[in-house]
Amino acid sequence: MGLDVSIEMTSICVVDAEGGIILETKAVSDPADIGEVLAGIGGTFERVGFEAGPLSQWLYNGLTSAGLPAVCIEARHAKAAMVAMNRNKNDRNDARSLAQLIRSGWFKAVHVKSTESQETRTLLMAREFFVNKLRDHENEIRGLLRPFGLKVGRVAARDFDTRVRELVEGYPNLELCMSALLRGRAEMQAPMASPP
């Protein structure tokens, strides 16, 4: 069986051992909804395949938890096969091509990370995002002060706020502007300073 997954809906194509189409339908892109459609068919499934993508880990875990033999396949390999099988690219034809690819066994399976592993990865990526945005924020402050000949220079992170406030002292408009930007910087630093 092949699943062509998009954010909202998933096209489903179920084929038999000879490649004959048993069912073509659509379901909401949710493991429970897809599982419900498959349960209505009855029988057992050899493989339930879909391309690697943003929802693949969630779908894989949900389908395997429901006792379905889910297989996540490498997206570039799947795309090449779908292009070779279809002239008209649409969700229905892609689901058909995926079903035939899964039936034939000519696919490259992708390892799906555990939920715990994905959570750790997400945590690290979120932290990297915060660090990068904080650096961008500080560089913007430096850049805004430079036209006035005010140079922050090399300063430890803990002294950045004090240094900027010293530089803009006596410039009421700059004090107002920098005060707002420094409050924003402090807000950005807070999630990294305190453990979740």
What pLDDT is recorded for position 86? Answer: 67
Q: 36-64 pLDDT, tens per residue?
A: 888 888 778 889 999 988 888 899 999 99
Give the whole-angstrom CA distance, residue 3 versus residue 50: 5
Look at residue 194 in the predicted model and tell me its pLDDT. 58
| Residues of the chain below pLDDT 50 | none
Instruction: Tell me which residue has tokens 């592993």.
Output: 117
Encoding tokens for residue 61? 């875990």
Would you state the pLDDT for residue 92? 85
Query: How many helices and strands (H and E) does the chain possess?
Result: 7, 5
**Which token pair is 110?**
């992708």
pTM here is 0.67
